[in-house]
A = this chain, B = another copy of it.
Amino acid sequence: MKRIAESSVRRLALYLRFLEDFTKRNTPTVSSEELANASGTTSAQVRKDLSFFGSFGKRGLGYPVAELATQLREILGIGRDWRVVIVGAGKIGAALAQYRGFRQHGFMLVAVFDNDPTRVGKRIDGVTVRDMTHFDRDLKTLKPHIAIVTTPAEAAQGVVDRITKAGIRAILNFAPTGVQVKPDVTVRNVNMALELEVLTYALLHGDDA
């Protein structure tokens, strides 16, 4: 399969959201134009994104909503019971642990870790916070697919090293720092301060089209 742009993958995940809306409203088919309007792109973009993975539509009709949603779930790997661990039970870690959207999209939170004794043992949304001491051993049993890192910046690289050593190949990093990994590991960084700075840049320099 040809290598697909990350921006395309993001849009596919977005399309899926709107297809789920359309399903709720019992809309049987949807055109590339309608999907484009909903997700803020163009119809050509929608068709091109979908065409990388096959021909899901019917000419003259559009795309069958339910069927396309199923296909997108398959492509994105949604509904496979991915096991997720969160490292860092601070404010953001705890907030994420309680985020309903994860379970709704098929992500199973199997453990939360922290090295702060005052946090270890506490229950967050049905999951007990574990001590980092047993991190490596616990990961062997839990075999998570994805790790979410919400530690302070200083601790992030060390945690990421232990995560990758345990064989985890997908990391969502909320620590406000970049981390180095081997090329077979995918890291996505979410950095609040950085997003705000992109906004202030836009305010100062006017990104209005």
**Interfacial residues, chain A to chain B (CB-CB below 8 A):** 1, 3-4, 6, 9-10, 12-14, 17, 38-40, 75-78, 80, 82, 84, 91-92, 94-96, 98-99, 101-102, 104-105, 107, 145-146, 169-172, 176-178, 180, 183-184, 186, 188, 190, 192-205, 207-209
Contact = CB atoms under 8 A, between A and B. Distances in A.
A19 to B, nearest CB: 13
A195 B146 CA distance: 11
Q: How many copies does the complex hold?
A: 2
A5 to B, nearest CB: 11
Given A10-B194, A202-B186, A91 B99 contact: yes
Nearest to A186: B202
A201 B40 contact: no
A201 B76 contact: yes
Nearest to A37: B180
Contact of A96 (B9, B171, B178, B192): B192
Contact of A190 (B80, B195, B201): B195
B195 A188 contact: yes
B193 A188 contact: no
Nearest to A147: B199
A203 B13 contact: no
A14 B170 contact: no
